[in-house]
Each structure stands twice: as C-alpha cells, then as structure tokens.
Amino acid sequence: MQQSMENFKKTLDEHHEWPCDYTFKFIVPGNSLIQLKEMLEGIPHSEKDSRTGKYTSVTVTIYATSADEIIDLYQKTATIEGLISL
C-alpha cells in the first residue's frame, strides 16, 4: 500500500504544478452521504443523485498546495463504506 501511495504522489507531482486546483469525484451510497459531507465540512462541493436515488455523485474542487493534501483527502474518504473515488 505504501508503495502505491508513493507512486501516486510521484504521478501527481509530475502532472501538476503546485499550488493548483484539484478536482475529486466521489460516488457514494445514499446511506453514506452524510458521513462524506461531514468530512467535507467547509469545502465547497456539488451533488447529483443517481436516477434511482441509491447513489450520489459528489464533485469537490480544492486549491491544493501539494500532492500530500490530495492523498490525505483520498485516504480520509477511503474509510467510507461503499465510496468509489474516480
């Protein structure tokens, strides 16, 4: 797991010039949406429910100063059951 995070950080650093805007896209089951929103408190985001209402797509754009900020948010949200990060 550690090696994959190192690779991800390297890729982020190669493709982004910090600081910059970075957009996250999450798909979350309806019953876990509140948990995600609590983690995103104070961070602007948009939501769109799926056609059936079982899932919600959440788009978040942050102004990041380093790849570490991106990795931290991905790791934090990875604890939410059923969440898919795109």
Model pTM? 0.89
Residue 3 has pLDDT above 90, yes or no: no
Distance CA 19, CA 43 (A): 17
First to last CA, the chain: 18
DSSP string, 23-49: EEEEEEEGGGHHHHHHHTTTS-EEEEE
pLDDT band at 4 (very low <50, low <70, confident <90, very high): confident
Domains of the chain: 2-85 (3.30.70.260)
Report the 10 Å Cβ neighbour count for 67: 20
Q: Would you say residue 82 has pLDDT above 90?
A: yes
pLDDT tens digits for range 23-41: 999 999 999 999 999 999 9
Q: What is the pLDDT of residues 42-65, one digit of tens each?
A: 999 999 999 999 999 999 999 999
Contacts of residue 54, Cβ cutoff 8 Å, sequence gap at least 6:
29, 30
